[in-house]
Structure 1
Amino acid sequence: MNYTVNQEKMGQAAKALHERKIDLWLILTSEGSDPCLPLVTGVKTVGPGAFLIAANGARYAVCSSIDAQDIEESGLFQEVIKYSGGLEEALASLVQRLAPSRIALNYSKEEHLCDGLTLGCYRWLMQTLKDYTGEFLSSASFLTELRSIKTPEELRRIRQAIAVTLEIYEAVFQRLQVGMTEKQAGELFLTEMKERGVVNGLDRTLSMPMVLKENIAHRQPSDRVIEPGDLVIFDYSIEYEGYVSDIARTVYFLKEDEEDAPEDARFAFQAAYDAISAAQAALKPGAIGHEVDAVARQFLLERGMPEISHATGHQIGRETHDGGTLLGPRWDRYGQAPYGRIGENMVFTLEPTILPGKPPYILLEENLVVTAEGSEYLSERQKSLVLIRS
C-alpha cells in the first residue's frame, strides 16, 4: 500500500492546525464511516476507532487490537493505542494526556465531505469527553482546504487519469458509427476500460459514461438510436489510483451529403470554446468562484446563447465533484461554495454548457490546475466538433 498522499495530507493538516491555533483534530470512525479517511489516513477501522493529528505534527491512532496491524504497518502514526474493552476509556485518557485547548471535529452545515461525524457519534463523543473543558469547533475550513489544495502526488495521479481518459476517447471515436444506440456507444468505452484495467470515476465500477443524444441530464445511456445529423454529448470520468478525471466531448454525426457540421452547430461550439478560454484567463489565485463563473456566463449571453443552467466549473480530485470552491453563480442552491477563493494547486473543470434552445446543445469540459500566476490545461482541448461519417 502506497501512503505517499496520506503522508502529504497529514503534513498539510498539521500546518493548517498550527495556522488556525487549533491544537488537535479528532476523527472518529467505525467501518470507515468518515469520508475524509481515504484522503487523510488511507486506513480505517472495523470497530470504533479514532485518529488524532496534532498541530505539532504528532499523529495518534486509537483502535481495537484486531484493527491495529494495518495501522501500525502504515507507518503513519507515532503512537497506536490498542484497546481491548471499549474505545471510551482509551480515547478519554489520550485527550486528557494531550490536554488540547481546541479540538476540531468533522461536522459542517455546508460541505457534506466535511460532515463525517454522525449525530449518534457526536453524542457518544460528548459523553466520552464530558470532563474536557476546552473548545470544540468544526474542521470544515481546513478540511475543505485539504481536499482542494492538491499535493504533487495527487496532481500526478490526476494527470494520469486525464491522459487515460483522452486515450480512451480517441479509441472510441475511431469506432463510433451512425445507427448505434446510446448504450452501444457506451459499451465501446467499457471495452477500452477493461483493456486498461480502469473503472468509471463517478461510481468506481465498470460502468458506461453519459451518452446523450437528447434529454441532456445526468443519466445512463438509453436505447435511443444515433442518426445522421445528430449531436451527441459524451461526459466521462475514469479513476486512477484513487483520483479522477472529468471530461466531456460533443460529437456530430454527418449526413451523407455533409463535409462539416451545420453552421449553427459550429457557431455554438465556438461560443462554448471561447467561453472556456475567457474563464481560463480569469481562473487564477485570489479570484472568487462566482467571478470566474460570471465571465463565462456573460460571454455566452453576449453571443445570444441561453444562460448556463448550472455552475461553470467545479473541483475534481478524489471525487468528480470534490467540494470546496465552486465556479458557480450566487444562487441559493449553491450556498457559500461560489464565494470561495481560488488557490494554487486547486484542480477545476470548466464546462459552460449550451443546453437545448435556439442554438444546438454543446458540452465541452476541460480540466485545469491553478498555478502561481494563473491556470493551465491538464486536458488537451477539444478544438472543433468531432465528426463521424455515416
Structure 2
Amino acid sequence: MTLVVPDPTRTVPLPLREQADVRDRWLTQRLLDLLPGLMDRAGIDLWLVVGREGSEDPVLPTLLPATWLSARRLVVLVLHRSDDGVTPVAVSRYPVGQYLPGWSPEDDGTEDGGDADGDERALWAAVRRIVTQADPRRIGIDVSAGCPLADGLSVAEHRLLAGALGDLADRLVSAEDLVVGWLETRLPEEVAALDALARLTDRVLAEVLSPAALVPGLTTAADLAWAVHERLADLGTPPWFHPGVTVQRAGVPLRPDSGVDLPAVPQDAVLEPGDLVTCDAGLSSLGLATDLQRSAYLLRPGEDAAPAGLRQAWAASRRAQELTAAALVPGRTGNEVLADARAATAAEGLPTDVYSHPVGVHGHGAGPAIGRWDDQRGVPGDGDRVLHPGTVFAVELAVRVPVPEWDGQCLRLALEEQVVLTRTGTAPLGRPQRELWTVPADQP
C-alpha cells in the first residue's frame, strides 16, 4: 500500500506508527490553521466536545490523538477562540496529546479521596473554572436535530454539563455549523492523501473487475463484493461499507423501486458474458474515507469491445458527470447545485439522477447534500448548506439510456468519482475511469 505523506515529493509505504504520526501532525495543523476561521464563521467562542468511553461523539475521534481509540472514561475537550487563535484544553484523567491539561487527579478538587464519583465531580468543576475564566458569549455543544454527525452529546452528558456550568448554561448553543465545517474541510495534505487512497481504491476495483477475480459462468455478484472486501482488508485499508455490486443484463429489465428503476439481476446469479457489472466501494485509512464506482462489460465470445449502445451510454454518463462537476461552485447550496446539474443534463437530453455528497472523514460526509438517489426534489437541511473550498465530493449519479442492442431495454449507468472543490471549481482526485472496462470471455 502506498500513501501520500505531507512531503508531496515522496510516496512511501506507511506503517501504522507512521500513519499515527501523520494524523497527529494534521490534527495540530488543523487546530492552528483551520479551527479559528471555522469558529469565527460559526459564531462560536468556545467549543465543548464531551465523550465518554462507550458513548462516543462522532466528531471526537477527529479531535483526539491517533493512538486514542476511545474516550478513556470521560474526556471534555475545551477549544477556546481568542485573539491568539484557539487554545485547546483537555479535561481528562489522562494526558491528551497536544492538548493543554485542564485538570489532573492531584488537583485540589479531589479532596474526597480520588474515587470515581469524586474524580468526575472534580473534572466537571474544572470545566466550570475554565469556561468561567474564558467568559465566552456563545458556547458550542454537539447537539443537532438535523445533522447526526453533529448530535454526539448524549442526554446524560448534556445534563451533567449543564449542571456543572450553572448560569453559564444559558450560553450553550448548537455547534452544528462548526462541526460540519470541521468535518468537511480538508488540508492540502489530506487532499493529497485522498488522491492516493482513491488511486488505491481504483486499483483494487480494477483487479476485481478482471479475469483475476471474475470468471463468467462461475463468479456471482456476491463473490465480487466479498473479493473487494477481502482485498481492502488485506491491504490494511478496510471498507467503511460492504461493497455493492449490481448487474444489468439484456432481457432482465430494470425494476421500479421507490420511484427509481434499479437493476433486477439477483446477487446470487452467476455472471454471464454480455452483462454490465458495476462495483461501488470505499476504503478507510489515515482517518479518511473514499467512495468510488467502477463498471465493466463482460465480453461475449468473438467480441473485442462493448456494443456501441453501451459505449454511447457510458459517454452519456461521463458527460452528465462533467456537467454535475461544473455545477459545483463555492457559495452555492447543495440544492442549487442539484437544480443546476439537472437543468444542464436535461438540456442535453440526458435523463440523470444526481446524488452527490461530501466525502472525507466519513464516506457519507458532513456538508452539502446534492440530491438523493430516490428523491430528486432537493434535500431539506443538508441540501441548504453552502459549498466551501477544501471540501472533497463524490460526484455520484446515474443516467438512464435505452440500448439498441438490448432491444431498446433501458440501462441505468451509475458513476462515482471524487473531486476537490477549489475557489474556482473542481479538480479530480485519483484516476477517473475514462472508458468502460471490459472483461474477456472465458477461452477454452
Q: TM-score, normalised by structure 1?
A: 0.87
CA contact (8 A) 2:335 2:379 kept: no
Q: Secondary structure at the match of 2:304?
A: coil
- Contact 2:338/2:378 (CA < 8 Å) preserved in 1? no
Residue identity opposite 2:368 in structure 1: T
Aligned counterpart in structure 1 of residue 306 of structure 2, from 248, 261, 269? 261
Aligned to 1:24: 46
How many Å apart are 1:198 and its aligned residue? 2.0
What amino acid maps onto 1:234 in structure 2?
C
Secondary structure of the structure 2 residue equivalent to 1:128: helix
**Secondary structure, aligned partner of 2:324:** helix
| Distance change in 2, residues 1:272/1:294 (3 Å) | farther
For the structure 1 residues 200 and 322, does the alpha-carbon distance in structure 2 shift closer, same or farther, using more than 3 Å as the test? same
Between the aligned partners of 1:24 and 1:33, the Cα distance in structure 2 is 20
> What do residues 117-172 of structure 1 show as CA deviations (whole Å, max 9, x unaligned)?
12222122222222326511111112111111111232132122112111212222
Contact kept? 2:418, 2:430, Cα under 8 Å: yes
Does the alignment pair 1:38 with 2:61? yes
Q: Which amino acid aligns with 2:52?
A: S
Distance 1:149 1:119 in 2: 28
* 1:248 aligned residue (279, 283, 293): 293
Is 1:114 the counterpart of 2:170? The answer is no
Give the Cα separation in 2 of the matches to 1:200 and 1:222: 19
Aligned to 1:316: 359
Residue identity in the other structure for 1:322: G
* Distance in 1 between residues matched to 2:394 and 2:414, nearest whole Å: 12
| Runs of 5+ consecutive residues of structure 2 not aligned to the other structure | 1-19, 106-113, 249-254, 256-260, 403-408
Match of 1:360, SS state, is: strand
The aligned amino acid for 2:57 is D
Which of 233, 243, 259 is the matching residue for 1:209?
243
Greater fraction of residues in strand: 2
Q: Which residue of 2 aligns with 1:6?
A: 27
Identify the residue that residue 92 of structure 2 maps to in structure 1.
63
**How far apart are residue 212 of structure 1 and its match?**
1.3
Matched, 1:15 2:37: yes
Q: Distance in 2 between matches of 1:379 and 1:230?
A: 26
Offset of 1:304 from its aligned partner? 5.2
Partner of 2:162: 126
Which deviates the most, 276-285 or 315-324? 276-285
The offset of 1:356, in angstroms, is 8.7
Q: Is 1:383 aligned to residue 434 of structure 2?
A: yes
Q: Cα gap change, 1:217/1:46 in structure 2, threshold over 3 Å: closer, same or farther? A: farther
* 1:159 aligned partner, one-letter code: D
- Displacement after TM superposition at 1:263 (Å): 3.3
Between structure 1 and structure 2, the one with the greater Rg is 2
Identity across the alignment (%): 25
Q: Which amino acid aligns with 1:188?
A: A
Task: State the alpha-carbon separation in 2 of the partners of residues 323 and 282 from structure 1.
Answer: 19
Partner of residue 328, structure 1: 371
**Match of 1:168?**
204
* Deviation per residue, 1:173-230 (Å, 9 max, x gap): 332221211122234324533553321133xxxxx52111257879xx9322111111
Q: Aligned letter for 1:186?
A: A
Please identify, of 36-45 and 349-358, the stretch whose mean Cα deviation from structure 2 is larger.
349-358
Q: Does 2:273 align with 1:228?
A: yes
Cα distance in 2 for residues equivalent to 1:336 and 1:145: 15
Which stretch shows the higher mean deviation, 230-239 or 87-96?
87-96
Q: In 2 relative to 1, CA 191–63 (structure 1 residues): closer, same or farther, beyond 3 Å?
A: closer
**1:374 aligned to which of 425, 438, 442:** 425
Q: Distance in 2 between matches of 1:102 and 1:288?
A: 26
CA deviation profile, 1:55-107 (whole Å, cap 9, x unmatched):
0221211112xxx14x1xx1x21234124422332322332233323211111
From 68, 77, 81, give the equivalent of 2:99: 77
1:296–1:312 contact (8 Å) kept in structure 2: no
- Does the 8 A contact of 1:325 with 1:340 survive in 2? yes
Matches of 2:92 and 2:392, distance apart in 1: 34
What SS does structure 2 have at the residue aligned with 1:213?
strand
Are 2:397 and 1:352 aligned? Answer: yes
Q: In 1, are the aligned partners of 2:335 and 2:378 still within 8 Å (CA)?
A: no
3-state DSSP of counterpart to 1:156: helix
Q: TM-score, normalised by structure 2?
A: 0.77
Cα distance in 2 for residues equivalent to 1:312 and 1:77: 39
Question: Structure 1's 290 and 102: CA in aligned 2 closer, same or farther, altered over 3 A?
Answer: closer
Which of 182, 195, 200 matches 1:159?
195
Segment drifting more, 328-337 vs 109-118 = 328-337
In the alignment, the residues of structure 1 paired with residue 340 and residue 44 of structure 2 have an alpha-carbon distance, to the nearest angstrom, of: 37
Over the residues paired in the alignment, what is the CA RMSD in angstroms? 2.7
- Aligned 8 A contact 2:162 2:169 in 1: no
**8 Å Cα contact 1:17/1:54 also seen in 2:** no
**Alignment match, 1:205:** none
Cα distance change on mapping 1:99 and 1:303 into 2, 3 Å: closer
Residues 232 and 96 of structure 1, relative CA distance in 2, 3 Å threshold: same
